[in-house]
Amino acid sequence: MLDIAFAKPALPKAGALVLPLAEGAALTGLAATLDAAMEGGLTRALEAAAFKGKKGQSATFWAPHAGITKLVVMGMGESPDAEKTGGSMIPLISGEAAAMVATDGLSAEQAASLAMGAALRSYRFDRYRTKEKAEDKPKLAKLTIGTAEAAAAKAAFAPMKAVVEGVFLTRDLVSEPANILTPVEFADRLKGLEKLGLDVEVLGPKEMKKLGFGALLGVAQGSINEPRMVVMKWHGSGRKKMDKPLCFIGKGVTFDTGGISIKPASGMEDMKWDMAGAGTVAGLMAALAGRKTRADVIGIVGLVENMPGHNAQRPGDVVTSASGQTIEVINTDAEGRLVLADVIHYAIEKFDPKFMVDLATLTGAIIVALGHEHAGLFANDEELAARITAAGNSVGEAAWRMPLGEAYDKQIKSDIADMKNVGGGRAGGSITAACFIQRFVQGYPWAHLDIAGTAWATKDSPTTPKGASAYGVRMLDRLVADHYEG
């Protein structure tokens, strides 16, 4: 992670200087100091560049003053968004070893948000690049946020840093190739979260068989890589016993071929991130533990690989879930909901949660409906749905409420079992999938986030470089922070 420090603003003796300016704002603070040192040169340069401070506008000047190798002036618009500004500046200064950002006019909280944006954008997954040229690698190692309220900004950044670290964990997991991140390897990495104070329990096939996990184990049976379920507990309330903990559940299909109902070859490599729901839950638990949330929280992930092996599940098979409900497997590529069915039942029986939120790259249908701009949100509880939506909007992770209902639920009625795992066709596929999951929640407050369209970014944005987005980590951290910390 980028080394970020907070200090009183001062002209750097070396490296880059970044000056964020609101639209139409006069030069003040460090910007005014630099302009005076340049005998009005900064004012003249900005006029020559037609810089007005509009949002998204930037102007770069090389070696403007002794020691400063690069000056970047960032427009923040009329309504400054410090976080996006912090993220947007990273590509402009990544070639410098160090940089100072002057945050004159911003509060301590805004200065911390700018730092968070910069940290989020600085992420890079490059562990398998063995021949990358030195000049192609980012050089920025240290970023100093210059603010008159350095101590307050540093304190405000501390919990944000924990969230960034959770985001980075999720991005790392989702970026890994499937030959590396098997269910066993995934579980081993999550055991490492015990250093943050999490209690981590790993269940293997024997334990899950005893629990009656016929749905999850049916998905896994075609692969030589054994499945795992990982339970992560954070006891933040300080009470002797957990009472109605918050519960987050993730689909962790570490690679999805579709099984016997095999997917087309084109684009199948993307199915390495069919475990993004589990990755998000892992990052969320790391973030909550890292900032020491005062809530009791459970994170559970079901980890399997869906392969067309000699023992693979067949279309037409009937499996018995941990809840005792039977499922006719019409399509083996509708496997994530089978994993969630058993994990959700376990969460209810074991923890009696206050609510459950599951995350899954569940359906291509949600991408058809919402594209890559929103996750699909399904819920049986109005308050929970509203809180998730608001939390997502506040951190730039949008979710759109989708319907549930009897007409959709009827589509998964089976002729020979309690239900089938897909509806009658392509129409409403994300909804019938959610209806399937709802059959296992036993009336508990529940929300389902279908993140198939938001788990992977196909282009850069201010705080998310192209690749694994870690969608949901910040949203659900904010949900907990805003409503469930006593």
Residues 168 and 65 in one domain: no
DSSP 25: P
Average pLDDT, the chain: 96
Residues 259 and 335 in one domain: yes
Q: Give the pair of three-digit tokens for residue 138.
A: 């980012």
Single out the residue in 114, 149, 184 at which a domain terminates: 149
Single out the residue in 149, 170, 188 at which a domain terminates: 149
| The pLDDT of residue 321 is above 90 | yes
Distance, CA of 322 to CA of 211 (rounded, Å): 6
Please report the pLDDT score of residue 324 as a whole number: 98
**Based on the number of CB atoms within 10 Å of its own CB, is 128 exposed (0-12), middle (13-18) or buried (19 or more)?**
exposed
Q: What percent of the chain has pLDDT over 70?
A: 100
Helix (H, G, I), strand (E, B) or coil at 39: coil
Please report the pLDDT score of residue 137 as a whole number: 87
Range of the domain at 74: 3-149
Is 431 in contact with 378 (CB distance < 8 Å)? yes
The total number of residues written for the chain in this structure: 486
Residues 419-468: pLDDT tens digits?
Answer: 999 998 789 999 999 999 999 999 999 999 999 999 999 999 999 999 99
Residues 134 and 261 in one domain: no
Residues 9 and 44 in one domain: yes
Residues 143 and 219 in one domain: no
pTM: 0.97
Residues 176 and 299 in one domain: yes
Total domains present in the chain: 2
| 155 in any annotated domain | no
Residues 115-126: pLDDT tens digits?
Answer: 999 999 999 999
Residues 101 and 15 in one domain: yes
| 478 in any annotated domain | yes
| 156 in any annotated domain | no
Nearest alpha-carbon partner for 51 in 31, 81, 29:
31
- DSSP string covering 336-399: HHHHHHHHHHHHHHHH--SEEEEEE---THHHHHHTTT-EEEEES-HHHHHHHHHHHHHHT--E
- DSSP string covering 67-93: TEEEEEEEE--SS--HHHHHHHHHHHH
Is 44 considered catalytic here?
Answer: no
Residues 354-364: pLDDT tens digits?
Answer: 999 999 999 99
Beta sheet of 318-320, edge-to-edge order: 318-320, 326-328, 419-420
Residues 172 and 127 in one domain: no
Please report the pLDDT score of residue 258 as a whole number: 97
* Catalytically annotated residue among 54, 55, 263, 354: 263
Q: Give the pair of three-digit tokens for residue 437.
A: 């999951």
Single out the residue in 149, 176, 200 at which a domain terminates: 149
**Based on the number of CB atoms within 10 Å of its own CB, is 444 exposed (0-12), middle (13-18) or buried (19 or more)?**
middle
| 435 in any annotated domain | yes
| 157 in any annotated domain | no
* Catalytically annotated residue among 161, 233, 337, 478: 337
Instruction: Determine how β-strand 68-75 pairs with β-strand 58-65.
Output: antiparallel
Residues 306 and 170 in one domain: yes
Nearest alpha-carbon partner for 89 in 62, 68, 59:
59
End-to-end C-alpha distance for the chain, whole angstroms: 31
Is 251 considered catalytic here?
Answer: no
For residue 152, CA distances in Å to 111, 112, 164, 231, 414 come to 9, 9, 19, 36, 60
Please report the pLDDT score of residue 431 as a whole number: 98
